[in-house]
Amino acid sequence: MIEVHTWEPNANSGKPLLLLKEKGVDFDFHYVNMGALEQHSPAYVKINPNGTVPTVIVDGFSMFESTPAMEYLDEVTPGPHLTPKDPLQRWKMRWWMRFIDEYLMPCLAMQAGSAAGGRMQMSEEEKDAAVARIPLPERARVWRLILDRGVSEEELAESRRRVSSAIATLEEALGQSPYLAGPDFTLADLDAMTTLHSWPLNREDVTAEKTPNLWAWLKRCHARQGMKDAFALGRFIGTRMGEVRAKLGLED
């Protein structure tokens, strides 16, 4: 049995959930409460020494990196394959996954982290204790910045610029083909959806008028049953997705 230890169907955390629901494969879902920083707890660090989500465990072997884990799961599980056979489409799929994971997602994570840090009420001692539990030094540094509300306005402005540029890139590409890597839904669309799922609700620059190609793609992806089933696993994202689908005209 495949075990998935993760948080909400969101960003990296959501990739194995969306994939396995899309393929209709059974798995054991263990919710890791990131709101309570459970990903840094000694019990969790035993299964994932990086202290990040998701962790996928197959036959006792733990996998940490979400995109390679998704590729592995796509290969070994039954159900429709979401990796194109055509080498050029496969290259496009991997190009998009790298673009989402390394260019777009970090910018959005910085903005979300900075906003969440502003809401967290912690004493200096609590912050020190929380940071001391984080196994990776690079993560500890980012959390220190977040908890101290130390992300500079310059960094936030640059990440906003990059997100606008990514929207233009997506809009252009989705004018050429219905899905990111070509004619079919692939891991690239799934990867992107873990991060872009709520844009119809929370971005004024993504609308049916301003970004018609991106809007139509969001609608196509949200109409998929696997996507709907995966988002329903969330403790709070699931309810928001009803509003997103309504905004896209997929539900009343």
Select the span of 18-26, 65-73, 120-128, 177-185 touching ligand GSH (CB under 6 A).
65-73
Q: Over the chain, what HEC string results?
A: CCEEEECCCCHHHHHHHHHHHHHCCCCEEEECCHHHCHHHCHHHHHHCCCCCCCEEEECCEEECCHHHHHHHHHHHCCCCCCCCCCHHHHHHHHHHHHHHHHHHHHHHHHHHHHHHHHHCCCCHHHHHHHHHCCCCHHHHHHHHHHHCCCCCHHHHHHHHHHHHHHHHHHHHHCCCCCECCECCCCHHHHHHHHHHCCHHHHCCCCCCCCCHHHHHHHHHHHCCHHHHHHHCCCCCHHHHHHHHHHHCCCCC
114 is a contact residue toward ligand GSH (CB under 6 A): no
- Which of 4, 11, 107, 146 touches ligand GSH by CB under 6 A? 11
CB nearer ligand GSH, residue 71 or residue 211: 71
52 binds ligand GSH, rule: CB under 6 A: yes
Interface residue with ligand GSH among 66, 114, 186, 211 (CB under 6 A) is: 66
- Measured from the CB atom, is 37 or 208 closer to ligand GSH? 37
Q: Under the criterion CB under 6 A, does residue 3 sit at the interface with ligand GSH? A: no
In the complex with ligand GSH, which residue's Cβ is closer, 29 or 250?
29
65 forms part of the interface with ligand GSH (CB under 6 A): yes
> Does 64 participate in binding ligand GSH (rule CB under 6 A)?
yes
Q: Which of 5, 12, 82, 189 binds ligand GSH (CB under 6 A)?
A: 12
**Positions 173 through 202 that interact with ligand GSH (CB under 6 A):** none
- Residues within the interface to ligand GSH (CB under 6 A): 11-13, 34, 39, 51-53, 64-67, 139
